[in-house]
């Protein structure tokens, strides 16, 4: 039987894995490999939280393979050299993989495909992570979409979910070995992630469990609850989706099976969020410069505040004096995750009230989020900053106090992550600087004043916007 390499990348699962299925369907003996080559991701090599997750996800994939008689062969990059070496060692006649869409690795993969085919090796890539590949949906003029609603409307007219496929029951033991997982040194130098793992279970089993928990629980009422950070109102599937531990069409199929008249709006609302994920990949594919530069070039002249390390550090560490912002930044540090509504609030505060360039925030999220994803992160930051596609207009500036009062009305989220405010009466927990005597008496450790006066910060941002 001929050997085929199945090259795992951002598809760390055995179910619904088109590359693995294709290798098996072609009658090959699959050799399952992971090549560690973070340098090939260009300016966006995975950050510390991503690496911590990746370590656990690879360990789980290897355990799942061993349970089937196989194991994962891990090698160090460069990817092309490592794959050529594996071909030489095993006589493999084919290489299968699922596509990644980040600009740097797309270019690498295209070159590699040409090289392998030039040698007479079968080189096949598949769609392992999207409902629609970035080039499948186009406007009537044939160009990329820049606005979500028509993008999603078109997507829904083309909605066709693939048949689900089970994980293979058994896989052959590889004839060669790789390096141990620990050799990749994915653990952070500073073990700040210890607290993460009570919240997360990386790997394919953890992904399916998270989906089950969501379907049994937060799916009912998702449309209303998804904006409330004080409860588990969302699926928490983002890191599993990022690492390809579950296919989006698997999630969509399970949800479609659950669809009833009563939960129609919740199911549609959830699928729409998966749609934003599709849209972000569409945007990054068609506008590959946007991970670094504004999509809207008008903002290239915007007067961002000069880099200010103490200001940025106060935001990063949750010491801004604005409770909802500090709560979000501390949730991020403690769990590797932040609720979507709060991501918008902290991002708006950084880009508008502090007027620091959105890239400062994008880079911090990149290093600290377990779901850090170049397409979603880029779109999220440019959307909030007002510099991106279909963005909130720059002049719509989130007021972090009224946002907190609306979405965390009992201040439960604030108090969970900023416990030093717990002794204050509820009304004082949203804007404690308005209650200086209480603050001095009951919350000595919390900043007396916000980093910037919210009204002045807003005016300065609007004035800078007027000049663009
Ligand atoms: C400034 C900023 C940065 C962000 N950075 C990232 C990031 O690096 N990685 C990331 O996965 N998401 C990012 N998001 C989007 C969103 O916050 C997360 O996807 C969401 O909070 C994940 O939680 P969940 O899985 O419970 O979401 P659910 O509400 O359960 O949504 C289901 C899935 O839909 C996708 N999704 C939901 N909202 C969005 C969105 N706004 N844009 C794109 N996809 C979405 C995610 O894959 C998510 O897992 C960012 C948003 C903002 C405002």
**Average pLDDT value for the chain:** 96
Question: Cα separation of 211 and 236, whole Å?
Answer: 8
State the average pLDDT over residues 371-392.
Answer: 92
Residue keyed to tokens 């073990």: 191
pLDDT in tens, 105-155: 999 999 999 999 999 999 999 999 999 999 999 999 999 999 999 999 999
Please name the residue whose Cα sits nearest to atom 17 of ligand 1: 340
pLDDT in tens, 50-108: 999 999 999 999 999 999 999 999 999 999 999 999 999 999 999 999 999 999 999 99
| Stronger pLDDT, 323 or 394, i.e. the higher one | 323
pLDDT at residue number 190: 84
Q: State which ligand 1 atom lies nearest to the alpha carbon of 346.
A: 1
Percentage of the chain modeled with pLDDT above 70 = 100
| Residue 393: pLDDT band with limits 50, 70, 90 | confident
- Name residues whose C-beta falls within 8 Å of residue 114's C-beta, 6 or more positions apart in sequence: none
The CB of 234 under 6 Å from ligand 1? The reply is: yes
pLDDT at residue number 396: 83
Question: Cα separation of 137 and 145, whole Å?
Answer: 8
| Burial class of 262 by CB neighbour count within 10 A (0 to 12, 13 to 18, 19+) | exposed
Choose among 244, 220, 209: nearest CA to 101: 244
Q: Tell me the three-class secondary structure of the chain, residue by residue.
A: CCEEEEEECCCCCCCCCHHHHHHHHCCCEEEEEEEECHHHHHHHCCCHHHHHHHHHHHHHHHHHHHCCCCCCEEEECCHHHHHHHHHHHHCCCEEEEECCCCHHHHHHHHHHHHHHHHCCCEEEEECCCCCCCCCCCCCCCCCCCCCHHHHHHHHHHCCCCCCCCCCCCCCCCCCCCCCCHHHHCCCCCCCHHHHHHHCCCCCHHHHHHHHHHHHHCCCCCHHHHCCCCCCCCCCCCHHHHHCCCCCHHHHHHHHHHHCCCCCHHHHHHHHHHHHHHHHHHHHHHHCHHHHCCCCCHHHHHCCCCCCCHHHHHHHHCCCCCCHHHHHHHHHHHHHCCCCHHHHHHHHHHHHHHCCCCHHHHHHHHHHHCCCCCHHHHHHHHHHHHCCCCCCCCCCCCCCHHHHHHHHCCCCHHHHHHCHHHCCCCHHHCCCHHHCHHHHHHHCCCCCCCCCCCHHHHHHHHHHHHHCC
pLDDT in tens, 317-368: 999 999 999 999 999 999 999 999 999 999 999 999 999 999 999 999 999 9
Residue 259: pLDDT over 90: yes
| Residue 164: pLDDT band with limits 50, 70, 90 | very high
State the average pLDDT over residues 430-438.
Answer: 97
The CB of 340 under 6 Å from ligand 1? The reply is: yes
Contact between 52 and 193 under an 8 Å Cβ cutoff? The reply is yes
pLDDT at residue number 468: 83
pLDDT at residue number 389: 79
Please name the residue whose Cα sits nearest to atom 52 of ligand 1: 380
What structural domains does the chain harbor? Answer: 3-128 (3.40.50.620), 130-163+205-286 (1.25.40.80), 297-466 (1.10.579.10)
- 176 C-alpha to ligand 1 centroid (Å): 39
- Name residues whose C-beta falls within 8 Å of residue 289's C-beta, 6 or more positions apart in sequence: none
pLDDT at residue number 261: 96
- 371 C-alpha to ligand 1 centroid (Å): 8
**What order do you get walking across the sheet with 122-126 strand by strand?**
73-76, 29-36, 3-8, 94-98, 122-126
CA atoms within 13 A on the CB side of 441: 8
- 340 C-alpha to ligand 1 centroid (Å): 6
Contact between 282 and 145 under an 8 Å Cβ cutoff? The reply is yes
The CB of 350 under 6 Å from ligand 1? The reply is: no
Please name the residue whose Cα sits nearest to atom 36 of ligand 1: 273
Residue to mutate, 376, 377, 378, 400, ligand 1, most ligand atoms under 8 Å from C-beta: 376
Question: Cα separation of 292 and 388, whole Å?
Answer: 12
pLDDT at residue number 205: 98
Catalytic residues: 273, 276, 304, 340, 358, 381
State the average pLDDT over residues 251-257.
Answer: 97
Choose among 101, 116, 127, 130: nearest CA to 41: 101
Choose among 182, 15, 2: nearest CA to 98: 15
pLDDT at residue number 339: 98
**And the tokens for 381?**
């930051």
pLDDT at residue number 188: 86
Cβ-based neighbour number of residue 119 at 10 Å: 9
- 365 C-alpha to ligand 1 centroid (Å): 12
The CB of 372 under 6 Å from ligand 1? The reply is: yes
- Name residues whose C-beta falls within 8 Å of residue 150's C-beta, 6 or more positions apart in sequence: 139
pLDDT in tens, 283-309: 999 999 999 999 999 999 999 999 999
Choose among 107, 133, 183, 112: nearest CA to 18: 133
Cis peptide before 307 (omega within 30 of 0): no
pLDDT at residue number 390: 77
| Residue 200: pLDDT band with limits 50, 70, 90 | very high
State the average pLDDT over residues 195-222.
Answer: 97
Question: Cα separation of 295 and 228, whole Å?
Answer: 30
Q: State which ligand 1 atom lies nearest to the alpha carbon of 222.
A: 29
**And the tokens for 53?**
């997750």
| Burial class of 289 by CB neighbour count within 10 A (0 to 12, 13 to 18, 19+) | exposed
- 273 C-alpha to ligand 1 centroid (Å): 8
Distance of CA 47 to the CA centre of its chain: 12
Residue 391: pLDDT over 80: no
């Amino acid at each position: 039987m001929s050997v085929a390499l199945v090259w795992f990348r951002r598809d760390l699962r055995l179910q619904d894995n088109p590359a693995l299925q294709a290798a098996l369907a072609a009658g090959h003996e699959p050799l399952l490999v992971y090549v560690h080559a973070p340098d090939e991701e260009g300016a966006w090599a995975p950050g510390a939280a991503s690496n911590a997750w990746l370590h656990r996800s690879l360990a789980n994939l290897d355990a799942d393979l061993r349970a089937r008689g196989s194991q994962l062969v891990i090698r160090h990059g460069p990817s092309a050299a490592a794959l050529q070496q594996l071909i030489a060692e095993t006589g493999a006649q084919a290489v299968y993989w699922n596509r990644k869409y980040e600009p740097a690795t797309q270019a690498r993969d295209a070159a590699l495909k040409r090289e392998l085919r030039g040698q007479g090796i079968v080189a096949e890539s598949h769609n392992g992570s999207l409902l629609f590949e970035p080039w499948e949906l186009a406007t009537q003029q044939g160009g990329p979409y820049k606005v979500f609603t028509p993008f999603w409307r078109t997507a829904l007219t083309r909605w066709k979910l693939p048949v689900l496929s089970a994980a293979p029951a058994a896989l052959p033991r590889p004839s060669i070995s790789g390096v141990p997982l620990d050799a990749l040194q994915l653990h952070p130098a500073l073990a700040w992630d210890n607290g993460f793992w009570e919240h997360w279970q990386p790997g394919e089993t953890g992904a399916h469990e998270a989906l089950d928990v969501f379907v049994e629980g937060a799916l009912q009422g998702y449309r209303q609850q998804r904006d409330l950070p004080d409860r588990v109102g969302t699926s928490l599937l983002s890191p599993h989706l990022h690492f390809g531990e579950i296919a989006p069409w698997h999630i969509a199929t399970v949800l479609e099976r659950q669809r009833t008249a009563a939960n129609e709006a919740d199911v549609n609302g959830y699928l729409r969020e998966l749609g934003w994920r599709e849209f972000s990949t569409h945007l990054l594919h068609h506008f590959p410069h946007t991970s670094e530069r504004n999509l809207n070039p008008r903002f290239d002249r915007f007067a961002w505040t000069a880099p200010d390390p103490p200001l940025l550090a106060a935001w990063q560490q949750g010491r801004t004096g604005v409770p909802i912002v500090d709560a979000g930044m501390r949730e991020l540090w403690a769990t590797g995750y932040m609720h979507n509504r709060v991501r918008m609030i902290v991002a708006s505060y950084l880009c508008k009230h502090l007027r620091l360039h959105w890239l400062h925030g994008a880079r911090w999220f990149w290093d600290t989020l377990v779901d850090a994803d170049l397409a979603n992160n880029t779109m999220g930051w440019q959307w909030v900053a007002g510099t991106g596609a279909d963005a909130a207009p720059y002049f719509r500036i989130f007021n972090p106090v009224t946002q907190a009062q609306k979405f965390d009305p009992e201040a439960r989220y604030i108090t969970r992550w900023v416990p030093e405010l717990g002794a204050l009466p509820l009304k004082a927990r949203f804007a404690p600087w308005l209650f200086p005597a209480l603050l001095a008496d009951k919350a000595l450790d919390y900043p007396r004043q916000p980093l910037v006066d919210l009204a002045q910060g807003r005016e300065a941002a609007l004035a800078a916007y007027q000049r663009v």
